[in-house]
């Protein structure tokens, strides 16, 4: 997969994915943001204050790889997170950030391993997400998170922001959306199983399925 060459098609893809995520309850209100990388190196992102349920193709913002606003409406205040992932992962061409309920709930738990928040309960989680580090709490839009996000993204395609939600990169929008949905479902399973003995994949089983770049 290469960066998106057809800007019109990329805009349609963002809006179609946004609408799907919203209508299926994976985000709510004006939370969450999506982006893709174009072949000229610029990024198309959902704008600040927009709802993924109503955003339109003409509403999208464009920034460079350092978050500088190039044209369109003002981008999401978390544009720096998207830019950090793209700089860290050259093979990534889409980034999805949601405040999905179960993943956000896990991000608030005290009893998690910050190096790897969720156990590999299913093979598909191990394949699509892999290890999931928890980044410490920063207020939404706090740019001081950017260096840590970029460093972490060099070795992880997904992170969970404490008291906030997940960010996932993929080679395509479809791959990133599939992975963040798998992450949400695994967070749901994790919460359903709390207090019960579980049998996650062994380290060897999970390593055999671990995702590779992007």
Which domains are present in the chain? Answer: 7-209 (3.40.225.10)
Question: Contact 189/122 with Cβ under 8 angstroms?
Answer: yes
Between CA 100 and CA 87 the distance in angstroms is 25
Question: Contact 27/99 with Cβ under 8 angstroms?
Answer: yes
Give the three-state DSSP class for 48: coil
pLDDT digits 0-9 by tens, 34-46: 999 999 999 999 9
pLDDT reading at 12 higher than 90: yes
User: Which residue of the set 4, 57, 86, 124 is catalytic?
Assistant: 124
| C-alpha pair distances (Å), 132 with each of 71, 89, 118 | 33, 16, 7
Between CA 17 and CA 145 the distance in angstroms is 26
What's the pLDDT score for residue 27? 94
pLDDT reading at 68 higher than 80: yes
Q: Let me know if 78 is a catalytic residue.
A: yes
Q: Let me know if 137 is a catalytic residue.
A: no
pLDDT reading at 11 higher than 80: yes
pLDDT bin (cut points 50, 70, 90) of residue 20 is very high
User: Which residue of the set 78, 146, 150, 182 is catalytic?
Assistant: 78
Q: What is the mean pLDDT of the chain?
A: 96
Write the DSSP symbol of residue 202.
P
Percentage of the residues of the chain whose pLDDT score is greater than 90: 96
pTM of the model: 0.96
Average pLDDT score over residue span 73-90: 97
Structural tokens at position 145: 């998170």
What's the pLDDT score for residue 212? 83
What's the pLDDT score for residue 88? 98
Structural tokens at position 163: 């008291």
């Amino acid at each position: 997969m290469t960066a998106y060459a057809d800007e019109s098609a990329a805009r349609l893809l963002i809006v179609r994915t946004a609408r799907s995520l919203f209508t299926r309850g994976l985000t709510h209100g004006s939370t969450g943001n999506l982006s893709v990388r174009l072949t000229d190196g610029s990024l198309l992102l959902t704008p600040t204050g927009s709802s993924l349920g109503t955003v339109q193709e003409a509403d999208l913002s464009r920034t460079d790889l350092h978050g500088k606003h190039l044209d369109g409406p003002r981008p999401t205040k978390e544009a720096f997170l998207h830019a950090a992932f793209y700089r860290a992962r050259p093979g990534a061409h889409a980034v999805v950030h949601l405040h999905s309920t179960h993943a956000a709930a896990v991000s608030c738990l005290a009893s998690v391993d910050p190096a790897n928040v969720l156990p590999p309960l299913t093979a598909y989680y191990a394949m699509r997400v892999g290890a999931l580090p928890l980044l410490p709490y920063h207020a939404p839009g706090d740019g001081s998170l950017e260096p840590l996000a970029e460093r972490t993204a060099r070795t992880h395609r997904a992170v969970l922001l404490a008291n906030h939600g997940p960010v996932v990169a993929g080679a395509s929008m479809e791959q990133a959306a599939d992975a963040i949905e798998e992450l949400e479902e695994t967070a749901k399973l994790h919460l359903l199983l709390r207090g019960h003995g579980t049998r996650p994949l062994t380290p060897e089983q999970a390593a055999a399925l671990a995702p590779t770049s992007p």
